[in-house]
Amino acid sequence: MVTARIPVVVLAGYLGSGKTTLLNHLLRNNEGRRIGVLVNDFGSINIDAMHVAGQVDAAMSLENGCLCCAVDVDGVDSMLARLAYPGAPLDAVVIEASGIAEPRQLVRLVLSSQSPHVEFGGLVEVVDAAEFDDTRARHPELDDHVRLADLVVVNKVDRLDEPERERVLTEVRDIADGAVLAAERGRISPGILLDAPGARESVGAKQLSFADLEECGGDHAQHMHAVYESVEFTAEYPLNPSAFLRFLHERSRGVYRIKGPIDFGASGDHRRFVLHTVGVYAAFEKTRWKGERATRLVLIGTDLDRQELTERLEACIDPDPTKIDERGMLNLARHLDG
């Protein structure tokens, strides 16, 4: 009897490109497919795992460290074995890599899996259309990631006007060997991503060869995460919105990405603000507190001064949270994510 293998899709893409957004879109619009998720955050607070929690059929997360180097094939195999076992109620597993993981290494880990229950389901690279030029200038290896991918999702096209959007799409198509799709908020059809690579032939599937995987990829010093670091900040007391907005405006250039929920305001206010900064872009997503209220931020960047950042964030804690700073909340509203 031939055992059906569960496809394992590697979802990669630079910091803040929209991987979690795309994953959440898939989980909400799964068209009946049951999806297991393996999330790898950079930083010890699992913000991405918090974002996908509750919508997924089976999930595991790996904290603090980059999946591509911190874990060997046995480690990935044992995690995959816990998600994908004989008779597992899953149709696919998606590994959401951290934004600075080396996709080639991740693909190699999946391809080297000894598990008879999984197969490589393809590499999907999410690209932030609005940050494409900047990211490429800072990280020329982005071209390589785009070239290797079975499917490149050029996300955030809403942030560009028509001519710029076409220019970026043309540039990505010139580099990519696989299929290229434009997307807003990761809205792509789940079938394109989750069915075995053969099913993607309509948009141009490709399979990675071991030769592709052997080229570089193994040199840790060249990996993005070798130069990035993260600082975590948690606070049980609310932050003052005006003070925090000042912190945001004055943040150092080294801080490329900040994400996580923030508690602003007094106990009667149930609004939960989730901050996302990507480069100079900053947005708050408004949700509601369900469990414990606390600020939990992860800051990712290069040359971070941990002590200075922590002190500046601590200075944002509101000495009197019973008095909501309405003006600050109004300013915050201007940054709200549509």
Ligand X SMILES: Nc1nc2c(ncn2[C@@H]2O[C@H](COP(=O)(O)OP(=O)(O)OP(=O)(O)O)[C@@H](O)[C@H]2O)c(=O)[nH]1
By CB under 6 A, name the binding residues for ligand X.
13, 15-21, 48, 99, 155-156, 158-159, 184-186, 257, 259, 276, 278, 283, 337
> Residue 41 or 119: which CB sits closer to ligand X?
41
Shortest distance, position 38 Cβ to ligand X, whole Å: 13
Cβ 218 to ligand X, closest distance in Å?
A: 23
3-state secondary structure (DSSP) of residue 143? helix
- Interatomic CA distance for residues 102 and 187, integer angstroms: 24
Residue nearest ligand X, CB atom distance: 99
Nearer to ligand X, 6 or 153 (CB): 153
Give the up-direction half-sphere exposure of residue 145: CA atoms within 13 A in the CB hemisphere. 29
Angle made by CA atoms 6, 198, 56, in degrees to the nearest 5:
35
Q: 194 or 299, CB closer to ligand X?
A: 299
- Residue 133 CB, nearest distance to ligand X (Å)? 17
Q: Give the nearest distance from C-beta 116 to ligand X in angstroms.
A: 31
236, 294 Cβ separation under 8 angstroms = yes
Query: CA 175 to CA 182: how far, in whole Å?
Result: 15
Separation CA 206–CA 219 (nearest Å): 25
Q: Which is nearer to ligand X, 13 or 241 (CB)?
A: 13
- Looking at the Cβ atoms of 144 and 212, the one nearer to ligand X is 144
Please report how close the Cβ of residue 97 comes to ligand X at its closest, in angstroms.
8
CB of 53 to ligand X, least distance (A): 14
The secondary structure of 59-83, three-state, reads EEEECCCCHHHHCCHHHHHHHHHHH
Report yes or no: 106 and 67 within 8 Å, Cβ to Cβ: yes
- Given a contact cutoff of 8 angstroms between Cβ atoms, the answer to whether 174 and 202 are in contact is no
Nearer to ligand X (CB atom), residue 5 or residue 136: 136
